[in-house]
Structure formats: C-alpha cells, structure tokens
A and B are shown apart, each in its own frame.
Chain A
Amino acid sequence: LAKTTQPISMDSYEGQEVNITCSHNNIATNDYITWYQQFPSQGPRFIIQGYKTKVTNEVASLFIPADRKSSTLSLPRVSLSDTAVYYCLVGEGGSYIPTFGRGTSLIVHP
C-alpha cells in the first residue's frame, strides 16, 4: 500500500485559499488519490478523487503532477465550517483497504 505523508496541522483565515499537499512517493500505476474530510465525532466524508492532472468539483480542486508522487488539495475561500481533519489516501479499485494516517488538522480563524 502506498504510504502518504501530510502536514499535521495548518492554520488559515476565512476567505483565504488553502492548499494541503500530500506526498505518496511509492504510488502504483493503478492507484487513485482520494481526499476525505472529517469533523469531530462524524465519519469521514468524501471530498474529491483523481488519477492525474487536475480535478475540480463544487467544493475543491485536486492537483496531481505528472509523476503523481504528490497531490495538492485546494480549498477556495475557506470558511469557519471548513475546520476539520483532512485525509489523503491512495489505492486502487473498490476492494482496496484505505490506510489512514493522522491527517491534516485545518483550523480556520475568523
């Protein structure tokens, strides 16, 4: 399983763009990159998934360079409600077992 490395914590202010980078140096050819958001006492929530280049949805963008050894989750104009833990996971297929690290604790300040 590809191991991921993320910053333990980040701070931002309302209205700013936040970029969280995840390193996954031993990503395999068939692996996808998925990001989850988790609020206290709730289950992780799917944010975005990508394989290469750039993916954008209504809440975030995911940037993946050509070598796919890292990825960056971009949250535009964060609000207080974006304060949460963000997890980067790498794996393939519906039957793989995602391995969670400690994630990145994002705190958004007024």
Chain B
Amino acid sequence: DAGVTQSPTHLIKTRGQQVTLRCSPKSGHDTVSWYQQALGQGPQFIFQYYEEEERQRGNFPDRFSGHQFPNYSSELNVNALLLGDSALYLCASSLVSSSGNTIYFGEGSWLTVV
C-alpha cells in the first residue's frame, strides 16, 4: 500500500519563475492538503482539496494555487516565486469520512528559490 508520494523531491528555481509540485494521496484517500514548512517552524496550512475543489485555504497569497484531479492526485502551483518561498512543501492526504483525524504526509518537496 503506497503512502503519500510527492515529486520532485528537490528543485531550485529563480526568483520570478513558476513551479509545480505534485502529490499522489495514500490509496483510498480522497482529500489532499498542502503545507509549507520553513526551517525551524511547524508546517503551515496552504489549502485543502476535496472532490476537485478547494475546500479551505490558509493565509497564503493568490500566487499559490492548486488543483485536484479525478484520481485524487493534486498539484500545487506557485507563481512569481520569491526568495521567501524557499521551504519544504508537504502534501497530506486523508479520508473525509473518517471519524478520527489521521492525516498522512508525504516526504515533501524541497524548493529553493535563488
């Protein structure tokens, strides 16, 4: 049973460029959330997707956008990259109907903006 998988694992972009990160949820999960984690900080919620729609959004600018596909996989897009966007981007999946709150995370995508 594959867990949450993310790609790429590492990438370097130039300020002003755009980046797309990808996530495949754990088998059987239908909800995908994205988090940004700066060095030394806890993960910060970006947004959550369910049934191909954005359900909730954290305090992130519109430069951050996403998409969920019919197979529940998801993409995170960041436009007009800033140096401050350098961070570990985490994808987490869950099942909306589950009674507990078990959320499974991928290993993340390290983004460095230079």
Contact = CB atoms under 8 A, between A and B. Distances in A.
A71 interface: no
B42 A32 contact: no
Contacts, number: 76
Contacts of A103: 42
Describe A's contact surface by its main secondary structure: loop
A98 interface: yes
A97 B105 CA distance: 13
Nearest to A34: B101
Contacts of A93: 96, 98-101
B78 interface: no
B48 to A, nearest CB: 6
A98 B94 CA distance: 11
A96 B107 CA distance: 21
A71 B42 CA distance: 19
A34 B42 contact: no
B110 A41 contact: yes
A67 B44 CA distance: 29
Looking at B35, B44, B92, B100, the one whose CB has the most chain A CB atoms below 10 A away is B100
Given A43-B90, A44-B43, A98 B105 contact: no
A95 B42 contact: no
B2 to A, nearest CB: 14
Interface of B: 4, 31, 33, 35, 41-45, 48, 50, 55-56, 58, 88, 90, 92, 94-108, 110
Interface of A: 31-32, 34, 36, 41-46, 49, 51, 87, 89, 91-103
